[in-house]
Structure 1
Amino acid sequence: MTQAYPLHWPDGLPRTERKAASQFRTSLSAALKNVKGALESFGRDSGKPVSNIVLSSNVGGLDLEPPRDTGVAAWFTWEGEQRCIAVDRYPKPEDNLQAIFHILEARRTEIRHGGLHIVRQTFKGFTALPAPEHWTQALGVSPHATAEEVNAAYRRHARAAHPDQGGSGDQMARLNAARDAAIRQIGGPHGV
């Protein structure tokens, strides 16, 4: 199940390495309102309601500092399929949300000028594969875990997951991916 926090990025969608400057001047609350409104309007315009909306990001908790990973993923169901529009192009979550708003508005324009069949073609690229398991879940740690806590959890789980200990290569690959994602997000050394 996709959660709003922490960020669940769609599997197979590459991440932006170099952020672009944004011209948006929209606050986080206004950008949230814009995206929710655009999803509702898109459902009305298409005659196919949008449901199960989850706006997933690393904005959450009581942290006063902006998150290191500013990506945002809008997960929703349309025409019986889970879809995801994910943007991490900009250095602020509100700008990435506003970009999602503009992407949705473009789909509404396609409906008006090209019809529903055009939007269905466009949305083939937004069909979402299940969100990958977040590193916090795979390792059983808090989103605020330190690199030391991540590495300790990795070692603890690796004892059972390793093929030599009755686990499998898939289980170890899952743990390795979770540890790598955690270290990329929070920073720190890979210690084993």
Structure 2
Amino acid sequence: MIEAYPLQWPTGRKRTASHSREHAKFDVTFARARDNIIHEVTLLAGGRWAVDPQIVISTNVALRRDGLPLANQRQPDDVGVAVYFLYRKKQMSFACDRWRKIEHNMQAIAKTIEALRGIARWGTGDMLEAAFTGFTAIAAPSAPRDWREVIGVLPTERDLAIVRATYRRRASTSHPDKGGTHEAMTELNTALAAAERELGHG
């Protein structure tokens, strides 16, 4: 099952190095960008009377029940956004981390889907299918490893302070700026979030 938080980046999709990210000129809030994605996917899927496209917008921003960010959150180190939905019974995934803010990466995805709707309207059916080929070829993330295995603590560990200390040591080598990879850091952050859910935030 794909989760909205933390970020579930599509397997096999290349990442943008943090130093290569650009400033975007989008004037949009997180809420507006989220609504734009939902609007564009809903229209692409056939409008509000179509089968539910089961949209999941996955980021490293923790959300409230209403889908808006929890208060006082800064931009996370990994500002990537991945959007998953069903289109004609096929799982689609769009992902963007080109821009320096999460809401700008969300808006870029909304604009991409809007452009694809133009192909659907003005092109031929095979043009849209050809455009979608790359998106359907990217698999959703595989089943995550147990958080204890990822962080590197004993299978019986229940002390959150020890878990966090081990996480910090692992993060010091897994972070892309310190020789690691985005994928390794994302898996580590996902593991810590799972640990905190299970053991309590302490």
How far apart in 1 are the matches of 2:11 and 2:56? 16
TM-score (norm: length of structure 2): 0.67
Q: Paired residue for 1:158? A: none
Larger displacement relative to structure 2 (125-134 or 101-110): 125-134
Name the residue aligned to 2:133. Answer: 124
Q: Given that residues 7 and 186 in structure 2 are in contact (C-alpha distance below 8 angstroms), is that contact kept between their aligned partners in structure 1? A: no
For 1:64 and 1:126, the matched residues in 2 are separated by 31
2:167·2:188 contact (CA, 8 Å) conserved in 1? no
Which of 102, 111, 116 aligns to 2:111? It is: 102
Aligned residue number for residue 57 of structure 1: 59
Please list the CA deviations of residues 21-62 of structure 1 after superposition, one character each: whole Å capped at 9, or x if unmatched. 2010101000000000000011117x9745121000001165
Distance 2:181 2:111 in 1: 32
Alpha-carbon distance in 1 for matches of 2:15, 2:119 = 26
Deviation at 1:80, TM superposition (A): 1.6
CA distance in structure 1 between the partners assigned to 2:4 and 2:110 by the alignment = 17
SS in 1 for 2:82: strand
Separation (CA, whole Å) in 2 of partners of 1:90 and 1:107:
20
Q: Is the 8 Å Cα contact of residues 150 and 182 (structure 1) preserved in structure 2?
A: no
Output the CA distance in 2 between the equivalents of 1:182 and 1:88.
13
Equivalent residue number for residue 88 of structure 2: 79
* 1:76-97 Cα deviation digits (max 9, x unpaired): 1112211100000001000000
Which letter does structure 2 place at the counterpart of 1:100? I
TM-score by length of 1: 0.71
Secondary structure, in 3 states, of the residue corresponding to 1:51? coil
Take 1:60 and 1:33, find their aligned partners in 2: how far apart are those partners?
17
Which residue in 2 is equivalent to 1:149?
A: 167
- In 2, Cα distance between equivalents of 1:111 and 1:10: 24
Aligned with 1:26 (options 25, 28, 37): 28
How far off its partner does 1:99 sit?
0.1
Name stretches of at least 5 consecutive residues in structure 2 with no aligned partner: 64-69, 154-159, 171-179, 191-202
Matched, 1:139 2:157: no
Gap regions ≥5 residues in structure 1: 153-175, 187-192
* In structure 2, distance between residues paired with 1:14 and 1:6: 18
- The count of residues paired between Structure 1 and Structure 2 equals 160
What amino acid sits opposite 2:29 in the alignment? S
Instruction: Work out the percentage of aligned pairs sharing the same amino acid.
Output: 29
Shift in CA distance, 183/72, structure 1 to aligned 2, threshold 3 Å: closer
